[in-house]
Structure 1
Amino acid sequence: MNDRMDSLRQRWQALAPREQWLCLLVGLTLLSLLYVLLVADPLTRRIAEEDSQRRLAEARRLEATNTRLELQARLAADPNLPYQRAIEAADASREQILRRIDEQTSSLVSPSRMKVLLQDLLRRQPRLQMVGLQSFSTPLELPGAASVDADATSAAPGFYRHGLRLTLQGGYFDLLSYLQAVQDSGWRLHWDSLDYLIEDAGPDAARITLELHTLSRHAGWVGV
Structure 2
Amino acid sequence: MAREKWREVGRRIEAMSLRERLFVFVAAVVVAVALVQILMIDAVQGRVQNAEERLQSAEAARLQIDSQRELLAGQGRGDPDRAAREALAAQEARLTLLNAQLETRGHSLVPPERMAQVLKDVVGGKSGVRIVGFKTLGPRPVSLPDAPEGSPPGFYRHGFEITVSGSYADLVAYLEHLEALPWHLNWTEATLDATGRPDLKLTLIVHTLSLEEAWLRV
Q: Is the 8 A contact 2:143 2:154 kept in 1?
A: no
Q: Partner residue of 1:150?
A: 149
- Where in structure 2 are there 5+ consecutive unaligned residues? 1-76
Deviation at 1:219, TM superposition (A): 0.7
Q: Partner residue of 1:209?
A: 203
2:129 matched to 1:128? Answer: yes
Tell me the SS of whatever aligns to 1:220.
coil
Q: Is the 8 A contact 1:137 1:221 kept in 2?
A: no
1 CA distance for matches of 2:86 and 2:93?
10
Distance 1:94 1:195, change over 3 A: closer
2 CA distance for matches of 1:99 and 1:143?
14
Q: Is the 8 A contact 2:133 2:162 kept in 1?
A: yes
Q: Is the 8 A contact 1:189 1:212 kept in 2?
A: yes
2:174 matched to 1:173? Answer: no
Q: Deviations over 1:151-208 (max 9, x none)?
A: 3x23xx4311111211222111111111111112221111111111112x422x2222
Q: Is the 8 A contact 2:143 2:155 kept in 1?
A: no
Identity percentage over the alignment? Answer: 28
Q: Partner residue of 1:223?
A: 217
2 CA distance for matches of 1:136 and 1:78?
53
TM alignment of 1:39-78, pairs within 5 A: none
Q: Partner residue of 1:186?
A: 182
Q: Deviations over 1:56-97 (max 9, x none)?
A: xxxxxxxxxxxxxxxxxxxxx998451445444443343233
- Where in structure 1 are there 5+ consecutive unaligned residues? 1-76
Instruction: Tell me the TM-score normalized by structure 2.
Output: 0.55
CA RMSD of aligned residues (A): 2.8
Q: Partner residue of 1:164?
A: 160
Higher relative contact order (CA closer than 8 Å, sequence separation 6+): 1
Any runs of at least 4 consecutive aligned residues in structure 1 with deviations exceeding 6 A, and if so which? none
Q: Partner residue of 2:139?
A: 138
Distance 1:132 1:206, change over 3 A: same
Tell me the SS of whatever aligns to 2:114.
helix
Larger radius of gyration: 2
Distance 1:207 1:91, change over 3 A: closer
1 CA distance for matches of 2:164 and 2:189?
13
Tell me the SS of whatever aligns to 1:107.
coil
Instruction: Tell me the TM-score normalized by structure 1.
Output: 0.53
Q: Is the 8 A contact 2:157 2:210 kept in 1?
A: yes
